[in-house]
Structures are given as C-alpha cells and as structure tokens.
Structure 1
Amino acid sequence: MNSNEQTGGLYDGLEPTLDNLHLFTIGTKNQLARRKKLGVSGLRKTIRSIEAAFESVFLRPMQLEDINPDVAMMLVNRWKREGMSLDMLHRRHEWFRDRNATAVALGWSKSQDFSGINIGRSEAWQASRQAVPVPKPLKGSRTKSKTTMPLLDFLNEHYRPTRLVGKSINTVRLYRHSINAFSRWLGRAAVLGDLNNKTVSDFLYWSLENTELAAATVEKDRSQLCVLWTFAAKRGWLKEFPEINAIPCPKRVPDAWSDDEMVQLMEACESAPGRIGKVDANKYWPALVSFIYDTGERISATLALERQYLEADGWVTIRGEHRKGKTRDKRFRLRPITLERIDSIKVFGQKNVFFWPYNYDYIFTRFGKILETAGLPNNRRNKFHKIRRTTASNFEAAGGNATALLDHSHRRTTLAYLDPRVIKETHPADIVPGIGETTIESGKDDSLVDDFREFLQSRKPR
C-alpha cells in the first residue's frame, strides 16, 4: 500500500509543495488530517513571519525541502539575536517539527531530527524576569521625557547617528544584543532610566551566576551598556555615571590547526554537497579556505573582495574599507593552487570573488557542517578565525612577523593568535634537568635547544 492509499486519497492530484503542505496537519490521535481552511489568524501570521524571515536570509521563497534542521537552526539563532521571547522560539521550533512530521506522513519528505537545536535555557531566563518597575521620570524638563525612552530607541535615534557613523553592521548588532539581554532579564523593554548602578550590576551578577555565558560575553554587555549610559549622563539625561568595574576575563591559550587537521578540513571542503549560488560547494569551500590560509584575513573582508582587486600574477589587494578598523589597504601574494581554485568559481557578471547569496550569519552554520564532516570541533573558537590563527602561528614559526601580517597595532594583540605549540616556545621541561637528573635527553637532533644545552654544559666549572 502506498502513502496515498494510507491517507485515504487526502491529497489526490496535489503537488508536494510548501503551500500544499499547509493544507494538512497531524491530529490529536497522530493521524493525518486535511484542514478545511488555514485556521486562526495567529497561525497564518506565524507562517508568514517564518517565510519572510527565510526569504530575507536566502533571498528566495521558502520551499518544502527547506523544512530541515539546518534552516531551523539558522533562523532560531537569528531570532534569538533579535531578542525574540523563548515562548515564541519554542513555538517556531515546534512548527518546523510539525511540518516535517506532516510531510513524512504525506510521503513528501524523510523524517529529520530537530532535537539538536538549542533554543536556550528557558528555566533560567524565565526565573530571571525580575518585574522591575519602570523608573519614575526624573525631575526637570530636560530629563523627564528621556528617562522612559526605550533603550533601543535611544541607540537608534541618539547614539548611533553620532558615535557609530561608519561602523559595521555587526557593531550595531552587538549593542542591540546587549540591550535585548538586559530587557529579557527585566521582563520588559529596557528604558534609559534602567541604566543605574543597582539595576545594571544586579543584571550582570545574575548573568554570571545563573547562565552559561562566558565572562567575556557578560563583560561585553557591561561595556556596551556603560557606554550608552555615559553618553546619556554627559547630556544630563541621567543623574549618575556608571561606577561598575570591568569583569575579569581569563585569556585563553591561542590554538591553531595542525597540518593534518588542515588536510582533513580541505578534504571535507572538496566533498561538500550542493551549491553556493551558481557555484558547486565542493569548489567554493576549498577556494575560500585556501584564500584565508594564504592571507590570514577575516571572513568579512574576504567575502567583500571584488575581482577587480585580484591580479593575474597572484597579488590581491584587500580594500581598507572592508577591513577591521577601516584604516588601510593590505596586499598579499597568493599561491598558484589558490589562484586555480578561485578561477574555478568565477561566474560571469559576478563582481565578488566569494559571492555569498545568503544571510551573512548562515556561512558559519554551513562551515560548521564541514567541520563536523572533517571530524573537527564545531564551536565558536573553531571557525574561520582559527584559520587566521593557524596562518599567523605558522608564519611566525617560519621567521615572519605575524604582527605585520595581521596588521595589528600592538604586539600584545598578536600574542593572542600564536599557538605556543607551533611557534615552539621553550619550556622548563625542554632545557632544565628533571629532579635528581644532571642532564636531560632530547629526541630532537641538531635543534637550537640541543645546542643551547651543550653550551650550558660546556660553561659548567670543572
């Protein structure tokens, strides 16, 4: 018996499309049922909202095959950054699961696992709703109307036009993220009057104690809220200035990929399925990874590279306006194999070398899948920036100046990129004899460390 017979001919003559999928639902007894109409207005709004979010990211209408965990995860992450409530996130996550189950029942799709999508710790944020009352307006005509101004409006109407001119979209996004996190803790939209030492410090303390957020993330929230706070206080819109000390953030040991891991990554890139716009994915990813490895550039500047700045002899210019800080251009020479890979993804009429037709954030999701295929960790520290750290570490180990390569203003910034295993730092175990030993054996012949040990031995008094 085929699936159509099992469903009693509910969808005779219907094409397997997303619009037709909305005509069906899974009933209370887990049986497929056909809707007489789409239903309540809330459901129609949810469908329109999800499809609109998809189209804004992928620049095309949503289709049946887009009901999958990758798309759901990418959209959920985007909604989380926009500050959507956890209840709404759970409903939209459930919508994807329900649509997949319905498509499976119709025989239009295979069953997919949506359990790996991290919606968030709802119990933590629900418990955080402090129900802090809206601050009372301060006395004085200058401050009275400003105290109850929503922080997001303050950011968009006052701070951004004067202090964030020329800054990247990502910088503005980070400010909004901090404001949204503050609002979730308050249980309402944050207003300017909430920027006081008691309320902000309570929010930061709670974030450190009751969430899995890293100290650096909480410090970022503190820093950005205090910047907005100071801006308002200098204009007399708030009576007190921030007095909250910076949160100590432990510095992590920089790590790079080994040669074997880079080979694994490249093999995974060369076997990537599907297409990126008009280019085969198994050609796009090797070209992108090769370019970042040759230059050590950031992913944002790489995606902005135009073909007119790529020369036939292998030299490429990264324009200053696309680089962090937007201060100066940077030139690099590419390997012949990198040039060949770039030539293989050339599309007539396409000005960008690495044209990415989707939302910027989605590239990290797609690259994460490649990392998993390569058997490498898929987390925030193991994305494109790790290739940058790998290039910097290998360049320094080969005798180059990684500070100049990465175009850092200070050497201390570069040190956060250099893997001590790659640059071969000397440690006590390398040159200091062990307890009760007079010499230390080395398995490395003709190394500088061995020469140094011999020199020390020769200097001992006889």
Structure 2
Amino acid sequence: MKDRTEPTIAELNRWTVGLDGELKQRDVKAAGGQNKVLGSVLSDFETILGRPMEVCDINPDVAIMLILKMKRDGARQRGMRARYDWFVGRAETAFRLGWLPRQDFDDVKELFAKSAGFGTASPLPAANVGSAAGTIANISLSELLEIHYIPSRLIGKSQNTLRLYRNTIRKLNRWAGRDFMVADLNVQTCARYIGDLMASGTLSPHTIEKEATQLRALWNFAYRKRMHTDAPEIAPVSCPDRIPDAWTRDEMVALMKACESAKGMIGKIEASKFWPALVSLIYDCGERISAVMQIRRDDIDSQGWVTVRGEYRKGKTRDKRYKLRPETVARINAIKVIGEPLILPWPMSEHYLWPKFGEVLKAAGLPSNRRTKFHKIRRTCASDFEAAGGNATKLLDHDNRRTTMRYLDPRVIREVQPADIVPGIGQEVAANE
C-alpha cells in the first residue's frame, strides 16, 4: 500500500491478513507462537548469511535454506511446518502491503511432505551407498550443497547462483519422489533425469545444460572429496546458438517514452523517473542488470564517470569505468533519495524487477519475454558501439571475441551478406548485354 511505512520485518510483523482477506493490524505482544518462530527465523538467517534478514528475503529459496537447517538439526515435522506457515503467511501479507510480488511456496513443502514428481511412475528406489570400490557418503544432494559445496566453492558468489543450484536440487527431489542422494549420482539415473527434462518440452536446451553442468560440478566435488566412488559422467546437452538481436533506434525511443510515462512509485522514486535512469545507465555502459542495481552514489564522480566495482560484476574480477551521457547523469540526479547510498534502490524482491520492466515493454508496444528484458539493452549497447567503430569485446570485458559475437546483432554491425555483394540471378548476364 502506498501510504505505509518503509518495508521492514518489524513493520511487517504488525500486520496480518484476516479470514476475510483484508489487511489487519495485530497485537504483536499477544502473538506468542508467531514471535517465537520469527525469532528463530531471524537468528538462523543471520547465522547462515551473516546479515540481518530483510523483507525481500521472504521467498521460497530462503525458506528452503532455513527449513533444511532445521532438518539437519533434527527438528520435528511440526517445527518445520510452523516455519513454512510463517513464510507463507508473511509473504502473503507483504504482497497485500505491496512490498513483494505473490510467490509460490509449493516446492518448499517437499522438505517435510514428500510428493511424486514429474517423469517417474514411482519414486526412485533407495540409493545404494555401498559398492565394490568403496562407500558413498549417505547424504542428500541438498546436504552436500549446503554443508560442503557452498562453504568450499560458492562463498562470495551471488545469491542468484545459490538460488539456481537449490532450484536444480528441488526439481531433482520432485522428480525422484524423495531426497535425491549423492549415491543417486550415476550415469543411468542422471541420463534418465535429463532425458525427462528434454521430453517435457518446458525448458530450453540451455536451461537443461545449465542443470547438467551443476550436477557435474556437485558430482565432481563429491568424487574429489571421496564422498563418491566414481568420476562424473554426464553427457553435454546440445545447445543451438541463437542469433543476437538488439533494439532498433525507433524501438529504443519507444521504450524510453514508455519509461517516462510509467505510473506509480518505486519506493520513494516516481516510476516515470526510475525507469528512464535505469535504461539510460545500462545503455551507456552495457553492464549487466545485477551490477547496475548495486551502483552507489559515490561510484559516480563530478565529471560523469561511473566506476562499476568488481564486486558488483559477474566473476567479481575487476573494476570497470564508463563515461555517462549528460542526460543520463541528469536522470540519475533526478532520482536522488536523501540518505540512500544506491542510485537505483529497489524496495521489493529482486525477482519482481523483471515482470515490472515487462509492463514497461508492453506499454511501449514491444515484446516482453525472457530475451527482451535488460540483457537486450546490453546487446543493443554492444551492437551500436561496435557499429560506430568501438571494440565491443573490450566494452563488455570479454576474454575472447567468440563470446562477444553472441551479443552483436548482424543487422546493426552491418555484416556483409551475399545479397550485398553477389549479383542476383540473371543480373550478371543482364549487365553484360
């Protein structure tokens, strides 16, 4: 709701959704059981991630992380159910307050209430932890990830990386009809799972290969740590290369007009000022949306140069500096919020950024799908820069030209086509007559 205070866990705890579906204030002191669950959630969250919990952390991924901790600690089903109910209730309240998008917690139930998954007529049989070559660790893939792999391999990686790994394991659990075990990592089972993913027709080959890559990484880690007796054997998934596409000049103009006409507020910033600043900033530097959303006020100097810190960027390897256009600097200055260090503060769940931008695209009369969001602006920046004589490989900070070519729209960079230089059928004869 627009007239409510800033989203905080404490403020959220003051509200509930009644049986009639209406928001109601509640007596916090009287909500003893809920307060106890809240206290344990906040404590476990800070123990694991080393920071206080925020409203945007009320999502299925965090719920799974915290319920898995309870499961490892030997909690009863009743306790895990209470924590699940807390997440579902708080997420619905946050949605009614306008702080978060509506979220689906169905997958979380699998942690304490098993259900059959796709692709199998019945659950997988129990995993065999013994073999002629030795003994395989009797732990689930979730436990391997949370207890061993994350501390050893993923410290410092983005929350999105952790989310993708957890999502892959959730789908494996659903497919298996039980916890997928380290001992289930074998050629036959993995091939069957990937085959079912491909047969379902709901995922792109690139998404399936991403999941296969994560399985290889986890299996290889288990093998190297002597928690598995066999080296990983998962065949790569064939992924066709897509032709890069960028927005045309007219489409970018239409997009900016839609940004400037957007209604409502984004936190304390008018949407009609937030979106133009965001689109301009991405177009000026060609950075990923994940990096752009972390840029701070003190990263821009008085000359209009922005430094995108290495810790904001994919790979977290090095800083990059870009010169901003004067109109971009003006748009950024127009959304300054006193006391807010970020240039583009987003008060809602980070996942909500994409569907909200999709609404702007639709208002501009442009397609809104997974290939037309923020990364298409990055491709547009790279293509326009290359067409103007710049080096897009250096701009995008790629290690090789082959990667850059996946970003360059051949229509924009004016790749020579047969129709440009080869005479048409009969044209050569006609020219000689």
Q: Does 1:172 align with 2:210?
A: no
Q: Which amino acid aligns with 2:89?
A: E
Instruction: Give the secondary structure class of the aligned counterpart of 1:399.
Output: coil
Q: How many residues align?
A: 361
TM-score between both structures, scaled by the size of structure 1: 0.72
Instruction: Give the match for residue 233 of structure 1.
Output: 223
Contact 2:134 2:229 in 1 (8 A): no
1:64/1:157 CA distance change after superposition, 3 Å: closer
Q: Does 1:292 align with 2:282?
A: yes
Instruction: Give the secondary structure class of the aligned counterpart of 1:393.
Output: helix
Is there any run of 5+ residues in structure 1 with no aligned partner, and where?
1-16, 26-40, 56-60, 89-121, 441-456
Identical counterparts, % of pairs:
47
Q: Does 1:136 align with 2:144?
A: no
Separation in 2, partners of 1:254, 1:20: 46
Instruction: Give the secondary structure class of the aligned counterpart of 2:316.
Output: coil
Higher radius of gyration, 1 or 2 = 1
Task: Tell me which of 77, 80, 96 is aligned to 1:63.
Answer: 96
Counterpart mapping for 1:5-404 below 5 A: 21-23=18-20, 48-53=86-91, 61-63=94-96, 71-72=101-102, 75-76=103-104, 79=105, 126-128=118-120, 130-138=122-130, 143=135, 146=137, 148-404=138-394
Q: Which amino acid aligns with 2:96?
A: Q
Shift of 1:377: 1.2
Q: Which amino acid aligns with 2:354?
A: F
Contact 2:95 2:101 in 1 (8 A): no
Structure 1, residues 249-269: CA drift from partner, whole Å, max 9, x if none?
000000000011111111111
1:227/1:265 CA distance change after superposition, 3 Å: same
Contact 2:382 2:395 in 1 (8 A): yes
Contact 2:119 2:196 in 1 (8 A): no
Greater alpha carbon shift after TM alignment, 159-168 vs 416-425: 159-168
Separation in 1, partners of 2:85, 2:400: 50
RMSD (Å), alpha carbons: 3.0
Structure 1, residues 32-56: CA drift from partner, whole Å, max 9, x if none?
xxxxxxxxx9x9998743332357x
Contact 1:433 1:439 in 2 (8 A): no
Shift of 1:142: 7.5
Instruction: Give the secondary structure class of the aligned counterpart of 1:239.
Output: coil
Contact 1:129 1:184 in 2 (8 A): no
Structure 1, residues 101-155: CA drift from partner, whole Å, max 9, x if none?
xxxxxxxxxxxxxxxxxxxxx9x954545410121221599835x2x31111111
Structure 1, residues 165-205: CA drift from partner, whole Å, max 9, x if none?
22222112111121112111111121111111110110001
Separation in 2, partners of 1:24, 1:216: 41
Shift of 1:320: 0.9
Q: Which runs of 4+ in 1 moved over 4 A?
A: 17-21, 43-48, 82-85, 124-127, 139-142
Separation in 2, partners of 1:330, 1:165: 23
Contact 2:186 2:233 in 1 (8 A): no
Contact 1:129 1:187 in 2 (8 A): no
Greater alpha carbon shift after TM alignment, 392-401 vs 170-179: 170-179
Shift of 1:365: 1.4
Separation in 2, partners of 1:47, 1:350: 33
Instruction: Give the secondary structure class of the aligned counterpart of 1:345.
Output: coil
Q: Which amino acid aligns with 1:298?
A: R
Separation in 2, partners of 1:172, 1:45: 21
Is there any run of 5+ residues in structure 2 with no aligned partner, and where?
1-13, 23-77
Instruction: Give the match for residue 413 of structure 2.
Output: 423
Instruction: Give the secondary structure class of the aligned counterpart of 1:158.
Output: helix
Q: Which amino acid aligns with 2:127?
A: P
Task: Tell me which of 421, 426, 433 is aligned to 1:436.
Answer: 426
1:302/1:165 CA distance change after superposition, 3 Å: same
Separation in 2, partners of 1:24, 1:169: 32
Q: Which has the higher contact order (CA 8 A, sep 6+)?
A: 2
Shift of 1:351: 0.4
Contact 2:258 2:360 in 1 (8 A): yes
1:135/1:269 CA distance change after superposition, 3 Å: same
Q: Which amino acid aligns with 1:133?
A: P
Q: Which amino acid aligns with 2:192?
A: D
Instruction: Give the secondary structure class of the aligned counterpart of 2:428.
Output: coil
